[in-house]
Structure 1
């Protein structure tokens, strides 16, 4: 009986301390703040980009720069988020708060490529649905549609025609 008590006396503190260390490690990992992040999006107006960020220090100024120089500054809201529209930006756009890391938001070229892919996908979906509905391609008669959208519409119509018509 004494041997059993001795083992419990030795093993119980080891088990309890390992649980305590695990809890401290878990709470420290979950308390860590998220790192700032930002991204770019095209707007309806040519040459104007919407730059948005989140997880920045709340209520502090964020400075934006591109290859063309200073693009502007904006104050992050209470949750650390912000959005600013910039025009005539070039190259890589970055955001930074005083004392914080420089965060790469993206490049103007990447944004244009994303927009072209989005236009193609939208055209493809519409062309596919149009052809599937009645086996006739009826592209909308709009003034100078985006060439990426037009190509997507044609490709979507072709795929649907092969499958359903």
Structure 2
């Protein structure tokens, strides 16, 4: 019996401490969720804006509003992202899930400016690549769609930069 008491005296504290350690390990706080964010960009139709968001609660509705009032709602996907085209939005655009914070997405004017920068960058990239490939070819490929003026300016600037560097 004396040996049994020694074993219990040694094993009991180890058992209790391992249970306590397990409770501490499992009760550790989880990482904080990222705060939701959204942005606006213009579309080919000057009356429409594309509102995109991320880090919202997955599979829950998101209400989108502008200075005109309610613009619509959309369900966030399984990753917490959404995209919604709104018509006639003006002023500041925001998004909110029920019980969540109101997230400012930007203004209609910022969306138009952002799209202009993107068009210029894409035009620059294509113009630069075209002239780099062939110094004699400075024409962009013509399609049926009307070309954005920012894209055209970017294409010409990219073609000029490539001509100075490679031709």
Q: TM-score, normalised by structure 1?
A: 0.72
Q: What do residues 89-141 of structure 1 show as CA deviations (whole Å, max 9, x unaligned)? A: 11111011232211011221111111111111111112112222221212333
User: Conserved in 1, the CA contact under 8 Å of 2:41 and 2:110?
Assistant: no
Q: Which moved more, 1:136-145 or 1:81-90?
A: 136-145
- 1:163 Cα deviation (Å)? 1.4
Give the length in aligned residue pairs.
141
Matches within 5 A, 1:26-65: 27-28=28-29, 30-65=30-65
Structure with more of its chain in helix, by fraction:
1
Matches within 5 A, 1:122-133: 122-133=122-133
What's 1:154 paired with? 156
Q: What do residues 62-103 of structure 1 show as CA deviations (whole Å, max 9, x unaligned)? A: 221101111112333444333222111111110112322110
- What is the root-mean-square deviation in Å for CA atoms of aligned residues? 2.4
What's 1:72 paired with? 72
Question: Do structure 1's residue 139 and structure 2's residue 143 form an aligned pair?
Answer: no
The change in CA–CA distance for 1:99 and 1:149 in structure 2 (over 3 A counts) is: same
Query: Any gaps of 5 or more consecutive residues in structure 2?
Result: 1-20
Counterparts of 1:130 and 1:81 in 2: how far apart (Å)? 35
User: Conserved in 1, the CA contact under 8 Å of 2:92 and 2:106?
Assistant: yes
Larger Rg over CA atoms? 2
Query: Any gaps of 5 or more consecutive residues in structure 1?
Result: 1-19
